[in-house]
């Protein structure tokens, strides 16, 4: 079964609030497509539009090139996992999972239902709960019942709305791996909504970043992580968050960060592409690309004072301060750091990203042909 | 020891209250088995007789009143359910202009005392030919039962997450099938409770039954008046009539007691 989904200029409003504004995207057959965004970005609304639960005010939906704005949800052959489970409270676990196979649309014989439900329940490790009532389940178990109800049939598309957010960390990790495996085996197009960047990066074949109803970027996990289109995308991926600084480009095309003149040479590739008229620039650099030392090692070292030190097991997040900028970096947690202690940091400018005043990545337009060439981002 | 004393005192208090509450019913029961001559003795010593019941059923008239009452009451409740369930669903689910205004209007049907509206209704009914008909009484009775039904069921519908309905749609059920298979079972406790409560209101209604009907359609409440004659009051027959008239409600209430308590005390979907 081929299932390509195309959304063209989809817009959706609730009263005067724009939930989705001009969404264009294509989900290719058998792809694991992740929609990523913060709370309130419109992710669930987008899923509901695809499921047929909301009618968009504007724009067209195509399934395999066929216009299907007005196809009823029950006729779309789409299976959805809801964030709040949306289980039938008056049914048992078995009846919940069996529900699609008993419906007039996807009716199966009793024997098939029995077999399929047991199979799915075994995968999700809820086979011992089949006779229970929904009220007797924990949240994690409910979420798996919700997953089971979707997985029990073979739809055109799976829609998953944060299906593993309510699981505890260990189970979530395990389910993440299993979902990936399952999708490979099922070979079915999946659209997956999440606000967890790790889920997005590990599961997605392609990721769309949604913010305030608009798409910020669509790309592979590598694209998103290494070549973010703008500061929003850059800051959404990575923990601790990427650091941004205001910087000035000097006359001889050197970079002045933290109001210290001529901090560093800009890589040639940047220099060549840099618009000479642009004087101020925003530099983004991930915490892992900043080195620290207790002594001044070279001219590029910047003296900072320790602002906070959070040990997180083997690693720790060190926040230092320099002229009002707070800079996060990752250090081994065995270090002893005191507040206001002086340390030196060195930015690996070859791995930095450069953003214009509008917070747009200055070089993202070159990225497609510059892959590999763009050494500072690899 | 102290606890035991408290428990005993509590039980005594409850017994006293139970006696206080049930006494009128017991008195009624006793009256219905008394001769008119024994009616006013207060010693509880009398010769039981079935004379009153024989008089009640001898001409079959009382059975007719009873059936009339069943037809108009159950008719009104059936109509309220057919109209009220979709109305409550719409008020709970759809966000349309004037939603709260409409809901309030339904409730306001119960604001005016019956006696205030019965005269204009009487005149209207005379003109429309609804006076003393089943349709007329059913029509006016559903005004009593509909608001209660709508307001209780609206809360039930609001308690069902819309995602549950959406999930069922995606499972392959059409809107109607979702409504019958998923939504209706979830509001059942509320439906049972509100239907029974409205039935009690309607069943015991006196004002409308008296003034908007009387000859062709006579409910038991109005029929009681017949036992008040100009020269004497047949308390025994009246007591029997009252007892029989309350039986259906008592039986219904006892048989669905479980739903009644649950239906009024909590929403349907928890967790």
Q: What is the pLDDT of residue A269?
A: 66
Domain ranges of chain B: 58-266
B270 touches A at CB < 8 Å: yes
List CB contacts of B139: < 8 A, sequence separation 6 or more.
B130
Residue A243: phi and psi, rounded to 5, are -95, 140
Q: What is the pLDDT of residue A359?
A: 82
Query: Band of the pLDDT at A171, cuts 50, 70, 90?
Result: confident
Q: What is the pLDDT of residue B128?
A: 93
| Ranges A124-133, A162-171, B1-10: which has the least confidence | A162-171
Nearest to B151 by CA among B180, B187, B202, B205: B187
Task: Name the CATH architecture for the domain at A243-376.
Answer: Beta Barrel (2.40)
Q: pLDDT tens-digit profile of B109-143? A: 888 888 888 999 999 999 999 999 999 999 999 98
| Sign of the alpha-carbon dihedral angle for A88, A91, A96, A99 | negative
Strongest mean pLDDT among A59-63, A135-139, A343-347, A367-371: A59-63
Q: How far is CA B123 from CA B117, B126, B201, in A?
A: 10, 5, 24
Asked if A73 lies within 8 A of B169 by C-beta distance, the reply is: yes
Residues within 8 A of A (CB atoms), B 183-222 only: 185-186
* Chain A residues close to B163, C-beta within 8 Å: 82, 84, 86
Helix pair B134-159, B61-93: axis angle to 10 deg: 40
Q: What is the pLDDT of residue A375?
A: 35
Q: What is the pLDDT of residue B238?
A: 87
Identify from A14, A48, A74 which residue to disrupt to test chain B contact, counting B C-beta atoms within 10 A and taking the largest count.
A74
pLDDT value at B75 more than 90: yes
Whether A227 and A364 have beta carbons less than 8 Å apart is answered as yes
Domain ranges of chain A: 5-236, 243-376
- Distance (Å, whole) CA A56 – CA A69: 8
Q: pLDDT tens-digit profile of B226-258? A: 888 777 888 888 888 888 898 888 888 888 887
Averaged pLDDT of chain A = 86
B269 touches A at CB < 8 Å: yes
Q: pLDDT tens-digit profile of A354-373? A: 888 778 887 755 555 444 43
- Distance (Å, whole) CA A253 – CA A265: 8
Q: What is the pLDDT of residue A374?
A: 38
* Chain A residues close to B271, C-beta within 8 Å: 89, 134-135
**H/E run at residue A219:** strand A214-219
- Distance (Å, whole) CA A29 – CA B198: 56
Nearest to B134 by CA among B85, B86, B198, B64: B64
pLDDT value at A281 more than 90: no
Query: Band of the pLDDT at A119, cuts 50, 70, 90?
Result: very high
Nearest to A326 by CA among A280, A378, A290, A279: A290
* Chain B residues close to A82, C-beta within 8 Å: 163, 166-167
> Which of the two residues, B158 and B265, has the higher pLDDT score?
B158
Q: What is the pLDDT of residue A261?
A: 52
Q: What is the pLDDT of residue B9?
A: 94
Q: What is the pLDDT of residue A161?
A: 93
CATH of domain A5-236: 3.40.50.300
Average pLDDT (A181-206) is 89
Strand ranges of the sheet holding A315-322, from the earlier edge strand across to the other edge: A290-293, A342-347, A302-312, A315-322, A325-332
- Distance (Å, whole) CA A297 – CA A355: 28
| Sign of the alpha-carbon dihedral angle for B187, B188, B194, B199 | positive
A87 touches B at CB < 8 Å: yes
Residue A282's CB is within 10 A of a number of other CB atoms, namely 20
Q: What is the pLDDT of residue A377?
A: 35
Alpha carbon of A349: minimum distance to chain B alpha carbons (Å): 49
Which residue in the set A51, A84, A104 is minimally distant from B161, CB to CB? A84
DSSP A165: T
Q: What is the pLDDT of residue B265?
A: 57
Strand ranges of the sheet holding A243-249, from the earlier edge strand across to the other edge: A264-265, A254-257, A243-249, A280-285, A353-355
A368 touches B at CB < 8 Å: no
Reported residue count of chain B is 271
* Chain B residues close to A52, C-beta within 8 Å: 169
* Chain B residues close to A105, C-beta within 8 Å: 172-173
Q: What is the pLDDT of residue A277?
A: 62
DSSP-derived secondary structure for A4-43: -EEEEEEEEEETTEEEEEEEEEEE-TT-EEEEE--TTSSH
pLDDT value at A232 more than 80: yes
Q: What is the pLDDT of residue A356?
A: 80
Residue A360's CB is within 10 A of a number of other CB atoms, namely 14
Q: Three-state DSSP class for A209?
A: strand
Q: What is the pLDDT of residue B172?
A: 93
Q: What is the pLDDT of residue B52?
A: 86
Query: Band of the pLDDT at A182, cuts 50, 70, 90?
Result: confident
- Distance (Å, whole) CA A318 – CA A315: 10
- Distance (Å, whole) CA A186 – CA A180: 10
Query: Band of the pLDDT at A1, cuts 50, 70, 90?
Result: low
Whether A297 and A346 have beta carbons less than 8 Å apart is answered as yes
List CB contacts of A272: < 8 A, sequence separation 6 or more.
none
CATH of domain B58-266: 1.10.3720.10
Q: pLDDT tens-digit profile of A81-94? A: 998 889 999 899 99
Q: How far is CA B60 from CA B36, B57, B63, in A?
A: 21, 5, 5
List CB contacts of A16: < 8 A, sequence separation 6 or more.
none
Which residue in the set A76, A86, A106 is minimally distant from B167, CB to CB? A86
Strongest mean pLDDT among A245-254, A346-355, B39-48: A346-355
Asked if A104 lies within 8 A of B172 by C-beta distance, the reply is: yes
Nearest residue on chain A to B182, alpha-carbon basis: A88
> Which of the two residues, A194 and A357, has the higher pLDDT score?
A194
Averaged pLDDT of chain B = 88
Q: pLDDT tens-digit profile of A42-90? A: 999 999 999 999 999 999 999 988 999 999 999 999 999 998 889 999 8
Average pLDDT (A270-293) is 78
Whether A337 and A318 have beta carbons less than 8 Å apart is answered as yes
Q: How far is CA B216 from CA B54, B64, B65, B136, B223, in A?
A: 24, 10, 10, 12, 12
Q: What is the pLDDT of residue A264?
A: 64
Q: pLDDT tens-digit profile of B174-231? A: 999 999 999 999 998 889 889 998 999 899 999 899 999 878 888 888 888 888 877 7
């Amino acid at each position: 079964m081929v299932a390509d989904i195309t959304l063209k200029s989809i817009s959706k409003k609730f009263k005067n609030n724009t939930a989705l504004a001009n969404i264009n995207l294509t989900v290719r057959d058998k792809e694991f497509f992740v929609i990523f965004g913060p709370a309130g970005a419109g992710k669930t609304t987008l899923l509901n539009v695809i499921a047929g639960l909301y009618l968009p005010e504007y724009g067209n939906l195509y399934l395999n090139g066929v216009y299907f704005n007005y196809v009823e949800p029950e006729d779309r052959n789409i299976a959805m996992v809801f964030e709040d489970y949306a289980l039938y409270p008056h049914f048992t676990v078995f009846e919940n999972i069996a529900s699609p196979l008993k419906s007039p649309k996807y009716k199966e014989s009793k024997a098939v239902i029995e077999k399929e439900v047991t199979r799915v329940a075994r995968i999700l490790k809820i086979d011992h709960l089949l006779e229970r009532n929904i009220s007797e389940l924990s949240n994690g178990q409910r979420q798996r019942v919700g997953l089971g109800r979707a997985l029990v049939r073979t739809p055109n598309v799976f829609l998953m709305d944060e299906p593993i957010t309510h699981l505890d960390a260990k189970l979530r990790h395990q389910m993440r791996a299993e979902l990936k495996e399952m999708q490979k085996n099922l070979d079915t197009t999946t659209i997956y909504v999440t606000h967890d960047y790790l889920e997005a990066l590990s599961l997605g074949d392609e990721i769309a970043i949604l913010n305030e109803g608009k798409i910020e970027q669509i790309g592979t996990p590598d694209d998103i992580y290494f070549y973010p289109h703008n500061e929003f995308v850059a800051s959404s991926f990575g923990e601790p968050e990427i650091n941004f600084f205001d910087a000035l480009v000097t006359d001889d095309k050197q970079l002045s960060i933290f109001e210290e003149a001529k901090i560093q040479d800009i890589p040639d590739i940047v220099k060549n592409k840099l618009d000479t008229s642009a004087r101020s620039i925003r530099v983004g650099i991930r915490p892992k690309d900043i080195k620290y030392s207790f002594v001044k090692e070279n001219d590029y070292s910047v003296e900072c004072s320790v602002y906070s030190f959070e040990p997180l097991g083997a690693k720790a997040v060190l926040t230092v301060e320099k002229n009002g900028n707070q800079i996060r970096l990752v250090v081994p947690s065995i270090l002893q750091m005191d507040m206001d202690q002086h340390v030196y940091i060195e930015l690996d400018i070859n791995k930095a990203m450069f953003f214009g005043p509008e917070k747009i990545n200055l070089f993202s337009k070159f990225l497609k042909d510059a892959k590999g060439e763009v050494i500072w981002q690899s | 020891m102290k606890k035991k004393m408290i428990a005993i005192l509590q039980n005594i208090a409850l017994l006293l209250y139970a006696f206080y509450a049930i006494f009128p019913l017991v008195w009624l029961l006793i009256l219905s088995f008394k001769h008119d001559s024994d009616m006013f003795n207060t010693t509880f010593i009398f010769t039981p007789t079935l004379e009153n019941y024989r008089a009640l059923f001898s001409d079959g008239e009382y059975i007719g009143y009873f059936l009339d009452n069943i037809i108009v009451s159950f008719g009104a409740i059936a109509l309220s359910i057919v109209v009220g369930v979709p109305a409550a669903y719409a008020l709970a689910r759809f966000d349309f202009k004037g939603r709260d205004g409409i809901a309030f209007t339904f409730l306001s049907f119960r604001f005016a005392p019956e006696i205030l509206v019965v005269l204009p209704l009487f005149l209207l009914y005379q003109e429309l030919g609804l006076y003393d008909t089943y349709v007329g009484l059913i029509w006016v009775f559903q005004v009593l039962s509909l608001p209660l039904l709508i307001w209780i069921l609206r809360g039930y519908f609001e308690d069902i997450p819309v995602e549950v309905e959406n999930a069922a749609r995606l499972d392959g059920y059409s809107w109607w099938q979702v409504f019958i298979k998923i939504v209706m079972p979830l509001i059942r406790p509320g439906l049972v409770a509100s239907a029974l409560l409205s039935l009690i209101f309607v069943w015991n209604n006196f004002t409308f039954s008296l003034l908007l009907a009387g000859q062709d359609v006579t409910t038991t409440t109005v029929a009681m008046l017949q036992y008040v004659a100009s020269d004497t009051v047949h308390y025994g027959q009246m007591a029997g009539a009252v007892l029989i008239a309350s039986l259906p409600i008592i039986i219904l209430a006892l048989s669905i007691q479980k739903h009644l308590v649950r239906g009024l005390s909590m929403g349907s979907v928890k967790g």
